[in-house]
Amino acid sequence: MTMRTDDVPDDVKPSDLMVLKTGIEGADIVFALHQACFPPGSGERWSHTDLCEVLRMPGTLALIASRDDQPLGYGLARFAADECELLSLAVADPQRRSGVAHALVGHLIHLCRNRSMARLFLEVREDNEAARALYNKSGFKMVGRRPRYYKMANGTAKDAVTMAYSLND
Ligand SMILES: CC(C)(COP(=O)(O)OP(=O)(O)OC[C@H]1O[C@@H](n2cnc3c(N)ncnc32)[C@H](O)[C@@H]1OP(=O)(O)O)[C@@H](O)C(=O)NCCC(=O)NCCS
């Protein structure tokens, strides 16, 4: 684990929540949360190898949110030129609806501002109502659609919606 990122505005983070920024050294924690949050066949599940490959890419980082040293959720992001992509985000089921994901997204927006990014964007499965509600609440707008982007284990595919948060406004 490398550094704290708790120099963010007070309205972003519940006071008992810690958010740490990490790289490949946090891969096992991120992977455990990822596996618990994305069921097999969901079209969004990564292998440990894939995750490590992404975390080793230049410009990639993970934010891990924890309470009492217990990891609760993560956000994985890649910075390139003046854009940042939120690659994956998840919060452990028992801890949901307590503002953890909102805090992670808020931290990422804060990091983007500090790094003078112009845009933060992501893809979300069209039928993922919880995530879409979170991103709407966090200020993202829908900017596009990718048909059949998520390949499901049963051979079907689900559309992705592309959403973006403009940091120039
Ligand atoms: C989507 C997810 C990350 C949300 O995490 P969370 O910590 O529960 O979200 P928060 O508590 O920060 O919620 C913030 C806002 O998002 C919206 N929201 C979150 N979960 C919701 C749900 N199940 N239904 C409707 N709105 C929801 C609400 O507007 C909520 O604000 P409110 O609680 O004041 O109403 C979590 O449900 C999850 O990990 N799901 C499985 C993995 C996943 O789908 N990741 C996203 C892939 S793009």
Residue 89 is predicted with a pLDDT of: 98
Pocket test for ligand 1, best of 38, 96, 109, 138 (most atoms within 8 A of CB): 96
Q: What are phi and psi of 44, to 5 degrees?
A: -125, 10
pTM surpassing 0.75?
Answer: yes
Average pLDDT of the chain is 92
Residue nearest to atom 26 of ligand 1 (CA): 130
In-domain check, residue 89? yes
As a whole-number percent, the residues of the chain with pLDDT over 90 amount to: 82
Coil, strand, or helix at residue 12? Answer: helix
Query: Looking up tokens 């709407």, which residue turns up?
Result: 136
How many domains are there within the chain?
Answer: 1
The model's pLDDT over 70-120, given as tens digits with 9 standing for 90+, comes to 999 999 999 999 999 999 999 999 999 999 999 999 999 999 999 999 999
In-domain check, residue 10? yes
Q: What is the CATH number of the domain that holds 56?
A: 3.40.630.30
Residue 6 is predicted with a pLDDT of: 47
Largest CA distance in the chain: 45
In-domain check, residue 127? no
| CB of 139 shorter than 6 A to ligand 1 | no
In-domain check, residue 55? yes
Please tell me the distance between residue 70's alpha carbon and the centre of ligand 1 in angstroms: 19
In-domain check, residue 70? yes
In-domain check, residue 93? yes
| CB of 131 shorter than 6 A to ligand 1 | yes
In-domain check, residue 63? yes
Domain that holds residue 87: 2-121
Report how far apart, in Å, the C-alpha atoms of 122 and of each of 68, 142, 169 are: 30, 10, 18
In-domain check, residue 163? no
Q: At 169, is the pLDDT very low, low, confident or very high (cuts 50, 70, 90)?
A: confident
Mean pLDDT of 18-25: 96
Taking 60 as the threshold, does the pLDDT of residue 155 lie above it?
A: yes
